[in-house]
């Protein structure tokens, strides 16, 4: 037990001081870990927001906006079918315009997550896992520019699920979804709920390398003011294609580089290309 704890602490410290990211509750497949197993995981990304939505179309962003982030996750398998996890995101944001040059480097809202395997997955059997998440308002929400905020002062709950198919020849697919029930801010604004839907295809090309392609749809609904009126422009939609691969250098150790590209969608700002690196260890 002491050895496991020392490994957890060592990985956590080495990752948390070197990388940062927004929390992601739909990581991994429907397969759950063996009872008593631990997982440590990091997620690093960089976003340079080069496009801004205006006049019903995407154009060049007149401001310089970027976000380099890391999310550290620690999880434990209570049983063969039930996992509990903690996500701790850290983000380094910067915003520069003709009148402002500010940044914010701090932790964002933390997440507590649980996964339950309703139908256990094996390589010869389809599986389905339920996911529940609680997001707490630990991130700052009063920065000089709204882009720099690390949270919105609301307590939120998400429900979701992951379907993973059995391997058919060298392919399997995943269908993932989650829905956020967002709360009310300190200024009495009801933050719009959020929906995410993911389709993913894996190719078991080699025992140590698995390429994949992913489609992601994201929708945030309109915020409502204290009089229950919709706040114009507060909704958001996104479509992404993600290309990447999982590298398996040794048992229990995984490295997943990938690149995300956006198309379509509306409102807000967006990147052209988002490089992402995930690293996790199960033991």
231: confidence class by pLDDT, cuts 50, 70, 90: very high
DSSP code for 139:
S
- Residue 27: burial class (beta carbons within 10 Å; 0-12, 13-18, 19+): buried
24: confidence class by pLDDT, cuts 50, 70, 90: low
2: confidence class by pLDDT, cuts 50, 70, 90: very low
pLDDT for residue 145: 85
- Of 185, 114, 177, 130, nearest to 155 by C-alpha is 185
Measured distance CA(194)–CA(146) in Å, rounded:
18
Laid out side by side, the sheet with 57-60 consists of 57-60, 51-54, 269-270
Residue 1 has pLDDT above 80, yes or no: no
Average pLDDT score, the chain: 90
Domain span at 251: 2-282
pLDDT for residue 7: 42
14: confidence class by pLDDT, cuts 50, 70, 90: very low
pLDDT tens column, 163-218: 999 999 999 999 999 999 999 988 889 999 999 999 999 999 999 999 999 999 99
Q: Which of 59-68, 104-113, 138-147 has the lowest mean pLDDT?
A: 138-147
Number of domains in the chain: 1
Write down the pTM of the prediction: 0.89
Look at the block and give the residue holding tokens 């002062």.
153
Residue 78 has pLDDT above 60, yes or no: yes
For residue 5, give the H/E element and its range: helix 2-16
Report the CATH number at residue 168. Answer: 2.40.128.130
Residue 85 has pLDDT above 60, yes or no: yes
């Amino acid at each position: 037990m002491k050895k496991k704890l020392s490994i957890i602490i060592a990985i956590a410290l080495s990752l948390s001081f070197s990388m940062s990211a927004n929390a992601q509750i739909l990581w991994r497949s429907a397969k759950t870990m063996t009872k008593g197993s631990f997982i440590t995981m990091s997620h690093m990304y960089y976003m340079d927001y080069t496009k801004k939505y205006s006049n019903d179309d995407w154009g060049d962003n007149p401001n310089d906006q970027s976000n380099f982030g890391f999310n550290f996750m620690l999880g434990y398998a209570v049983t063969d079918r039930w996992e509990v996890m903690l996500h701790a995101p850290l983000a380094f944001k910067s915003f520069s315009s003709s009148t402002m040059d500010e940044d914010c480097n701090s932790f964002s809202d933390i997440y507590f997550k649980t996964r339950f395997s309703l139908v256990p997955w094996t390589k010869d059997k389809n599986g389905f896992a339920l996911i529940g998440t609680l997001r707490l308002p630990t991130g700052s929400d009063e920065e000089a520019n709204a882009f720099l905020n690390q949270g919105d002062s609301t307590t939120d709950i998400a429900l979701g699920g992951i379907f993973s198919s059995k391997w058919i020849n060298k392919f399997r697919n995943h269908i993932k979804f989650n829905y956020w029930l967002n709360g009310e801010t300190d200024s009495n604004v009801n933050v719009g709920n959020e929906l995410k839907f993911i389709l993913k295809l894996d190719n078991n090309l080699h025992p140590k390398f698995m390429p994949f392609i992913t489609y992601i749809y994201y929708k945030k609904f309109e915020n409502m003011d204290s009089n229950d009126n919709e706040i114009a422009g507060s909704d958001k939609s996104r479509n992404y294609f993600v290309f990447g691969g999982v590298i398996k250098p040794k048992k229990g150790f995984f490295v997943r580089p990938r690149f995300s590209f956006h198309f379509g969608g509306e409102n807000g700002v967006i990147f052209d290309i988002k490089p992402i690196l995930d690293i996790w260890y199960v033991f």
